[in-house]
């Protein structure tokens, strides 16, 4: 508990220190990164702790975003809208998940892809409500009861704090008995099944939590971007968030968040420098794999342990052979 | 009646095209357990290579051969340099082949520009057959023919040749095959190159039908992934049946349920996976 | 204890990295904003910074390239200046996704501090940007997005279209077709907003001229195989088939129309895409005989166009298409607007842009202040084969095609 507290204090310091060094646009970008980090963590939860790789996760993001956009035309209460986003996406995750988890691995990947496309087409076809392929503006305004939040700084702190809250909640889940059992199932399903655990219930629990959180990220995004379109549920976006999780580090919570920040940052600035940015992006991905250390978070870990080993002795050195996944859960 | 027949035939031809697009991916998956997300890009590359040769007055068939050879060589190089490092690591495969597809697709845009192109139908096959009141292009019949030929070839390779036997054994028990003194690495390299060549082949044969344009690689990739999943991972027979089923259902669906056409293939996949979580011909998973 | 250390290190490392990235981002933005120096002294600055939001990856890539090429050509011909101001351009890729576009927009406007924006290809992106430019009071020159509502319900004082609207594209040839080709038509377009908008405009104009649309068919976007639709359309035995398909859809539709034996049996007519280089060049002979209502072709017979085509060919080694001319005209319009406004302030530019007129290789253009959409000529033309290339022969000029002030469909 103590270590979580310390970590959280550091994250809070990070969130509150950044505006001091950031430009206006930097704050805007950081806000978006916090939202994407929540989204990436939600996928990281099922990928890294339940072994389910989804290529339709943007579907839930879209549900959350459209909930705010569509229902927000009639309902103004922010708490209610956020709650609705979470409940709707969570329920849909529960129902679809019950069917999807019968499949495994690659088949799971593809059935979730189909799910995401289904929603994409739904948002596209329901033009009277969703504005169709042209998208729709979001009229709901973020208001937690302390006045309307419209300034970039206001958004920045809301999203930063949301990121920290959901990080804490996810960490609590991961370290709870249910979280540990889920991870045990990922590592050896047959054994956990033999031990008498209902494997499906735990997988479904993780999937539902993950879907609900993705929906929440989508809802926050709708407030932030004030525009939604079917692309939010498209498989391209699902693929991107999957890449964020993998480059950040599967099997961790902060890894996906880190992956999200690096990905968004690169996507935003690389095209400024070169028209050939897809090639640079591709080369970076290949290089990351060839380096063979797993996600970026494992790199940090590795770098830090080398650094600490040089400065101190004993304790840090004994820690040095970092086994990925294990040291960083 | 003749319209229905023509539509059935259209669906069949289209399904065969799906089969050709997906078969390389399914073979690589079945033998090497590698998900090659660069498959769609290799398809695209095959078409562009052939396009260049055809523009240089090379005969369609020679251009086809050259494109297949060159994509095979590229597949070989990629396997030797990169893919072999990531056997058994699924997430690394995703990232690496995804990165490769980015690089190759962007290189194509760099070399050939952004303009759209099509490949000409070879002169011999440019006519059409009349079925009742409607015409049916010969080239599509030819695609059906090649698809069947390819299926026959695969069946022959798998069941009647030594390579096929090795591969079948290697899929079941890799250690045993290496213990017998067979170079599994070499077999894998060969299989990957073969899969890449099939992507190139389908790119050229699909060129006159689908055309070539920026962004086509991801569409082709998704299509072939779906065919592979419906058929069952690694089962080319499954892909064959699955592809034809998709082709026919999609074509008839366009007529009967036009508003669903954006979803048809995804719905088919979902229904198949809900009924059979391991695909039509996939092995039972524990 | 051990675990705690691990976590602290991770958090610290993450902070470091994030801070580094952010610092790099903000350093970059601050250096560029000081470089242009046009932030506050907009009115008097001697340079203008223009941000492009285009779709450089994916299916829209050739359109984006055409627009950029045309714009660049105009700059080359005018010593790199517009309205006497040195031009610096920043191009961003929106991946045809409104979400990415909004992020790129914020970067261009808030970090790069561009004075003006040119873009986008996709109408969804245009609708997303529309609210933002209104908020930030930045002028956006719409160089392609054809969504009708940009001129009607979602019209903005800050958005001026230099290309054409779906309504113009669909309606212009309808009267000619109803009177000269036939009264009974089957119409087809992809199932997305542009497709629906072009066809509703065509249908309204065609039926107003005495024609009858007997069937509407909407295949999905990116349809590889049009065969079942073609068979369905032919079964109606119409006098003509009218279709709107852009990009690779267009190429496949035109080639398959021929392959399935409809060419020469049922006249095919279409929107301007069917007379544009981007489609007629790859399809070649299959596009022969199509009647299209176009607003540009490199073969249009006017002096400005001859010079434009000559220069374009010299620079890029190929013929310009409708998108090249959109880019060229965006530059021409800005050139005139900045000169007349004498400033880069949005409020001054807006006054000039409303009702601005200039000569384009397309013919005379005037921005209609009622719709912020260009009033322009369309040319009913028939694709003919000349020396192996498709040339749209102009049959009739429809002068000054003007959008209605409000939507006739509501």
pLDDT in tens, C185-242: 999 999 999 999 999 999 999 999 999 999 999 999 889 889 889 988 998 999 999 9
Q: Name which of A107, A124, A288 is nearest B95 (Cβ-Cβ).
A: A288
- Strands C291-294 and C268-270, by their bridges, are parallel
Q: Do C90 and A272 touch (CB under 8 A)?
A: yes
Q: What is d(CA C65, CA B114) in angstroms, rounded to the nearest whole number? A: 7
pLDDT band, residue A23 (cuts 50/70/90): confident
Looking at the DSSP bridge assignments, the partners of residue B130 are B135
Return the C-alpha torsion angle B84, B88, B94, B97, nearest 10: 10
C323-to-C122, C188, C298, C348 alpha-carbon distances in Å? 13, 23, 11, 28
Return the C-alpha torsion angle A251, A253, A259, A264, nearest 10: 150
- CB-based contact A241:A39 (threshold 8 Å): yes
Nearest residue on chain B to A294, alpha-carbon basis? B92
Contacts of B95 in chain A (CB under 8 A): 243, 246-247, 285, 288-289
Q: Do B269 and A235 touch (CB under 8 A)?
A: no
Q: Is C111 on the interface with A (CB under 8 A)?
A: yes
Q: State pLDDT tens for residues C98-122.
A: 999 999 999 999 988 999 999 899 9
Nearest residue on chain A to C25, alpha-carbon basis? A26
Question: What's the CATH code, domain B2-275?
Answer: 1.10.3470
Q: Name the residue with higher pLDDT: B24 or C11.
A: B24
Contacts of C5 in chain A (CB under 8 A): 319
Q: State pLDDT tens for residues A183-235.
A: 998 888 888 888 888 889 999 999 999 999 999 999 999 999 999 999 999 99
User: If you average pLDDT over residues A95-121, what whole number do you get?
Assistant: 91
pLDDT at position C18: 52
> B211, B193, B236, B212: which is closest to B19 by C-alpha?
B236
Report chain C's terminal Cα–Cα distance, integer Å. 69
Per domain, the residue ranges of chain B are: 2-275
Q: Is A276 on the interface with C (CB under 8 A)?
A: no
Q: Give the gap in angstroms from C-alpha B278 to the nearest C-alpha of chain A.
A: 7
User: If you average pLDDT over residues B172-199, what whole number do you get?
Assistant: 84
Q: Give the gap in angstroms from C-alpha B85 to the nearest C-alpha of chain C.
A: 28
- CB-based contact C336:C370 (threshold 8 Å): no
Nearest residue on chain C to A34, alpha-carbon basis? C18
Q: Give the gap in angstroms from C-alpha B33 to the nearest C-alpha of chain C.
A: 29
Residue whose token pair is 């409500």: A129
Q: Do B211 and C57 touch (CB under 8 A)?
A: no
Element (H, E) at B21: helix B2-32
| The pair of three-digit structure tokens given for residue B201, joined into one six-digit string | 């082949």
pTM exceeding the 0.80 threshold for the entire prediction: yes
Q: Do B103 and A286 touch (CB under 8 A)?
A: yes
Q: Give the gap in angstroms from C-alpha C91 to the nearest C-alpha of chain A.
A: 7
> B40, B44, B66, B41: which is closest to B53 by C-alpha?
B66
> A148, A144, A159: which is closest to A18 by C-alpha?
A159
Q: Is C223 on the interface with B (CB under 8 A)?
A: yes
How confident is the prediction for chain C on average, in pLDDT?
89
Give the Cβ contact number of residue C23 at 10 Å.
Answer: 15
Q: Do B6 and C261 touch (CB under 8 A)?
A: no
Q: With pLDDT > 90 as the criterion, what percentage of chain A qualifies?
A: 59
Q: Is C61 on the interface with A (CB under 8 A)?
A: no
Q: Start-end ranges of CATH 3.40.50.2300 in chain C?
A: 45-165+299-376, 168-298+377-401
For residue B118, give the 3-state DSSP assignment: coil
Q: Do C228 and B215 touch (CB under 8 A)?
A: no
For residue C292, give the 3-state DSSP assignment: strand
Q: Give the gap in angstroms from C-alpha A102 to the nearest C-alpha of chain C.
A: 31
pLDDT at C141 exceeding the cut of 50: yes
pLDDT at position B81: 92
Provide the sign of the torsion angle of the four alpha carbons C159, C161, C166, C168, taken in this order: positive
Q: Is A271 on the interface with C (CB under 8 A)?
A: yes
> C89, C87, C97, C88: which is closest to C56 by C-alpha?
C97
Question: What's the CATH code, domain C168-298+377-401?
Answer: 3.40.50.2300
pLDDT band, residue B260 (cuts 50/70/90): confident
- CB-based contact C137:C158 (threshold 8 Å): yes
Q: Name which of C99, C110, C123 is nearest A134 (Cβ-Cβ).
A: C123
Q: Give the gap in angstroms from C-alpha B189 to the nearest C-alpha of chain A.
A: 18
Q: Do B254 and C228 touch (CB under 8 A)?
A: yes
Q: What is the CA radius of gyration of chain B?
A: 19
User: If you average pLDDT over residues C310-331, what whole number do you get?
Assistant: 96
pLDDT at position B100: 95
pLDDT at C26 exceeding the cut of 50: no
How confident is the prediction for chain A on average, in pLDDT?
88
Q: Do A23 and C29 touch (CB under 8 A)?
A: yes
- Report DSSP state, residue B124: G
| The pair of three-digit structure tokens given for residue A324, joined into one six-digit string | 């990925």
Q: Which residues contact residue A270 at a Cβ distance below 8 angstroms, ignoring those fewer than 6 apart?
A: A277, A280, A281
- Of the candidate CATH numbers 3.40.50.2300, 3.20.20.140, 1.25.40.20, 2.60.260.20, the domain formed by C45-165+299-376 belongs to 3.40.50.2300
Q: State pLDDT tens for residues B96-146.
A: 999 999 999 999 999 999 889 999 998 888 888 877 667 788 999 999 999
pLDDT band, residue C33 (cuts 50/70/90): very low
| The pair of three-digit structure tokens given for residue C233, joined into one six-digit string | 């359309």
- CB-based contact A8:A168 (threshold 8 Å): yes
pLDDT at B263 exceeding the cut of 50: yes
| The pair of three-digit structure tokens given for residue B209, joined into one six-digit string | 């039908």
For the ranges A292-301, B61-70, B108-117, B229-238, which has the lowest average pLDDT?
A292-301
Q: What is d(CA A280, CA A272) in angstroms, rounded to the nearest whole number? A: 12
Nearest residue on chain C to A31, alpha-carbon basis? C103
Q: Do B35 and A106 touch (CB under 8 A)?
A: yes
Contacts of C2 in chain A (CB under 8 A): 319
pLDDT at position A155: 94
Q: Is C77 on the interface with A (CB under 8 A)?
A: no
Q: Is B139 on the interface with C (CB under 8 A)?
A: yes
Q: What is the CA radius of gyration of chain C?
A: 23
Q: State pLDDT tens for residues C34-70.
A: 333 344 444 557 899 999 999 988 889 999 999 999 9
Q: Do A114 and B102 touch (CB under 8 A)?
A: no
Provide the sign of the torsion angle of the four alpha carbons C37, C40, C44, C49, taken in this order: positive
A contact test, residue of B92, B94, B221, B272 with most A CBs within 10 A:
B94
Q: Name which of A103, A121, A124 is nearest B277 (Cβ-Cβ).
A: A103
Contacts of B214 in chain A (CB under 8 A): none
Q: Name which of A106, A113, A279 is nearest B106 (Cβ-Cβ).
A: A279
Q: Do C62 and B139 touch (CB under 8 A)?
A: no
Per domain, the residue ranges of chain A are: 2-233
Q: Give the gap in angstroms from C-alpha A111 to the nearest C-alpha of chain B.
A: 6
Q: Do A327 and C147 touch (CB under 8 A)?
A: no
Q: What is d(CA C150, CA C75) in angstroms, rounded to the nearest whole number? A: 27
Q: Give the gap in angstroms from C-alpha C338 to the nearest C-alpha of chain B.
A: 32
Q: Name which of A232, A301, A303 is nearest C99 (Cβ-Cβ).
A: A232
Q: Give the gap in angstroms from C-alpha C309 to the nearest C-alpha of chain A.
A: 26
- Strands C268-270 and B134-137, by their bridges, are unpaired
Q: What is d(CA C403, CA C410) in angstroms, rounded to the nearest whole number? A: 15
Q: Name which of A118, A242, A285 is nearest B266 (Cβ-Cβ).
A: A118
Size of interface A-B (CB pairs under 8 A): 110
pLDDT at position C269: 97
Q: Is C58 on the interface with B (CB under 8 A)?
A: yes
Q: What is the 3-state secondary structure (H, E, C) of chain A?
A: CHHHHHHHHHHHHHHHHHHHHCCHHHHHHHHHHHHHHHHHHHHHHHHHHCCCCCCCCHHHHHHHHHHHHHHCCCCCCHHHHHHHHHHHHHHHHHHHHHHHCCCCHHHHHHHHHHHHHHHHHHHHHCHHHHCHHHCEECCCCCECCCCECCCHHHHHHHHHHHHHHHHHHHHHHHHCHHHHHHHHHHHCHHHHHHCCCCHHHHHHHHHHHHHHHHHHHHHHHHHHHCEECHHHHCHHHHHHHHHHHHHHCCCCCHHHHHHHHHHHHHHHHHHHHCCCHHHHHHHHHHHHHHHCCCCHHHHHHHHHHHHHHHHCCCHHHHHCCCCCCCCCC
Query: Which residues 248-267 in chain C show a CB within 8 A of chain A?
Result: none
pLDDT at position C10: 52
Contacts of C217 in chain B (CB under 8 A): 258
Q: State pLDDT tens for residues C332-356.
A: 999 999 999 998 999 999 999 999 9
| The pair of three-digit structure tokens given for residue A300, joined into one six-digit string | 């940090």
Nearest residue on chain B to A279, alpha-carbon basis? B103
Q: What is d(CA A167, CA A181) in angstroms, rounded to the nearest whole number? A: 20
Q: Do B102 and A121 touch (CB under 8 A)?
A: no
pLDDT at position B25: 92
Contacts of B216 in chain C (CB under 8 A): 59, 248
């Amino acid at each position: 508990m103590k270590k979580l507290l310390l970590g959280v204090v550091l994250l809070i310091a990070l969130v509150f220190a950044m505006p001091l060094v950031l430009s206006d646009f930097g704050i805007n970008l950081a806000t978006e990164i916090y939202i994407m980090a929540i989204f990436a963590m939600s996928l990281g939860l099922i990928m890294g702790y339940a072994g389910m790789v989804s290529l339709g996760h943007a579907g839930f993001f879209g549900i959350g975003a459209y909930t705010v956009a569509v229902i927000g035309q009639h309902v103004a209460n922010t708490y209610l809208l956020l709650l609705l986003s979470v409940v709707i996406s969570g329920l849909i995750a529960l129902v679809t998940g019950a069917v999807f988890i019968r499949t495994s691995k690659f088949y799971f990947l593809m059935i979730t892809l189909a799910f995401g496309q289904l929603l994409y087409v739904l948002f596209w076809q329901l033009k009277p409500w969703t504005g169709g392929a042209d998208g729709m503006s979001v009229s709901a305004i973020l208001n937690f009861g302390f006045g309307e939040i419209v300034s970039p700084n206001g958004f920045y702190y809301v999203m930063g704090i949301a990121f920290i809250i959901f990080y804490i909640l996810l960490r609590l889940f991961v370290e709870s008995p249910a979280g540990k059992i889920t991870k045990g199932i990922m590592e050896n399903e047959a054994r956990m099944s033999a031990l008498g655990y209902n494997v499906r219930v735990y997988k479904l629990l993780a999937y539902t939590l993950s879907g609900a959180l993705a929906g929440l990220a989508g809802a926050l995004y709708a407030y932030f971007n004030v525009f939604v379109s079917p692309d939010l549920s498209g498989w391209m976006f699902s693929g991107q968030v999957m890449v964020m999780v993998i480059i950040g580090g599967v099997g961790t919570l902060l890894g996906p968040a880190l992956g999200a920040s690096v990905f968004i940052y690169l996507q935003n600035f690389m095209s400024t420098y070169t028209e050939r940015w897809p090639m640079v992006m591709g080369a970076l991905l290949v290089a990351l794999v060839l380096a063979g250390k797993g996600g970026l978070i494992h790199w940090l870990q590795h770098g830090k342990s080398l650094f600490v080993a040089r400065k101190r002795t004993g304790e840090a050195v004994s820690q040095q052979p970092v086994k990925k996944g294990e040291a960083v859960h | 009646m003749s319209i229905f027949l023509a539509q059935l035939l259209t669906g069949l031809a289209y399904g065969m095209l799906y089969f050709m697009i997906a078969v390389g991916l399914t073979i690589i998956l079945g033998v090497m357990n590698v998900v090659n997300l660069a498959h769609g890009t290799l398809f695209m590359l095959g078409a562009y290579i052939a396009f260049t040769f055809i523009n240089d007055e090379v005969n369609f068939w020679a251009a086809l051969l050259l494109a297949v050879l060159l994509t095979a060589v590229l597949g070989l190089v990629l396997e030797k340099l990169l893919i072999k490092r990531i056997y058994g690591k699924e997430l690394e495969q995703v990232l690496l082949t995804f990165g490769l597809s980015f690089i190759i697709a962007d290189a194509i845009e760099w070399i050939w520009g952004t303009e759209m192109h099509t490949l000409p139908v070879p002169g011999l096959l440019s006519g059409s057959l009349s079925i009742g009141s409607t015409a049916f292009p010969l080239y599509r019949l030819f695609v059906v023919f090649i698809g069947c030929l390819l299926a026959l070839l695969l069946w022959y390779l798998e069941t009647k040749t030594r390579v096929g036997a090795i591969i079948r054994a290697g899929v079941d028990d890799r250690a045993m095959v290496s213990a017998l003194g067979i170079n599994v690495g070499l077999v894998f390299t060969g299989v990957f190159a073969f899969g890449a060549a099939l992507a190139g082949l389908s790119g050229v044969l699909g060129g006159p039908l689908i055309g070539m344009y920026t962004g086509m690689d991801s569409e082709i990739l998704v299509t072939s992934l779906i065919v592979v999943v419906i058929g069952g991972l690694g089962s080319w027979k499954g892909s064959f049946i699955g592809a034809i089923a998709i082709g026919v259902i999609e074509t008839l669906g366009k007529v009967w349920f036009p508003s669903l056409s954006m979803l048809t293939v995804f719905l088919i996949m979902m229904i198949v996976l809900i009924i059979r979580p391991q695909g039509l011909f996939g092995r039972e998973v524990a | 204890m051990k675990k705690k250390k691990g976590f602290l290190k991770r958090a610290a490392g993450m902070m470091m990295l994030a801070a580094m990235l952010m610092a790099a981002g903000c350093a970059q933005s601050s250096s560029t904003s000081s470089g242009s120096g046009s932030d506050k002294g907009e009115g008097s600055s001697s340079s203008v910074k223009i941000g492009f939001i285009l779709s450089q990856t994916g299916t829209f890539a050739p359109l984006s390239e055409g627009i950029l090429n045309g714009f660049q050509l105009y700059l080359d011909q005018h010593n790199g200046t517009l309205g006497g101001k040195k031009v610096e351009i920043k191009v961003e890729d929106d991946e045809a996704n409104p979400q990415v576009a909004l992020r790129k927009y914020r970067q261009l406007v808030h970090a790069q501090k561009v004075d003006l924006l040119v873009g986008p290809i996709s109408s969804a992106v245009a609708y997303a940007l529309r609210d933002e430019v209104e908020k930030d009071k930045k002028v956006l020159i719409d160089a392609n997005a054809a969504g009708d509502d940009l001129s009607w319900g979602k019209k903005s004082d800050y958005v001026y279209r230099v290309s054409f609207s779906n309504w113009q594209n669909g309606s212009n040839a309808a009267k000619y077709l109803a009177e000269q080709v036939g009264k009974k038509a089957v119409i087809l377009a992809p199932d997305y907003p542009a497709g629906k908008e072009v066809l509703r405009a065509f249908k309204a104009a065609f039926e107003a001229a005495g024609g009858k649309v007997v069937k509407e068919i909407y295949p999905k976007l990116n349809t590889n195989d049009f065969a079942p639709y073609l068979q369905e359309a032919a079964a109606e035995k119409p006098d003509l088939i009218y279709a709107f398909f852009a990009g690779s859809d267009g190429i496949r539709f035109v080639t398959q129309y021929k392959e399935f034996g409809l060419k020469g049996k049922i006249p095919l007519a279409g929107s301007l895409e069917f007379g544009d280089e981007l489609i007629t060049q790859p399809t070649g002979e299959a596009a022969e005989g199509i009647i299209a209502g176009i607003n540009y072709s490199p073969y249009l017979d006017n002096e400005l166009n001859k010079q434009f085509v000559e220069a374009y060919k010299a620079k890029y080694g190929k013929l310009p298409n409708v998108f090249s001319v959109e880019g060229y005209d965006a530059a021409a319009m800005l050139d005139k607007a900045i000169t007349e406004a004498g400033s880069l302030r949005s409020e001054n530019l807006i006054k000039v842009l409303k009702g601005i007129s200039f000569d384009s290789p397309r013919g005379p253009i005037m921005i209609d202040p009622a719709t912020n959409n260009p009033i322009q000529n369309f040319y009913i033309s028939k694709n003919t084969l000349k020396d192996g290339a498709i040339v749209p022969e102009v049959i009739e000029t429809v002068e000054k095609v003007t959008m209605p002030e409000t939507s006739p469909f509501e």
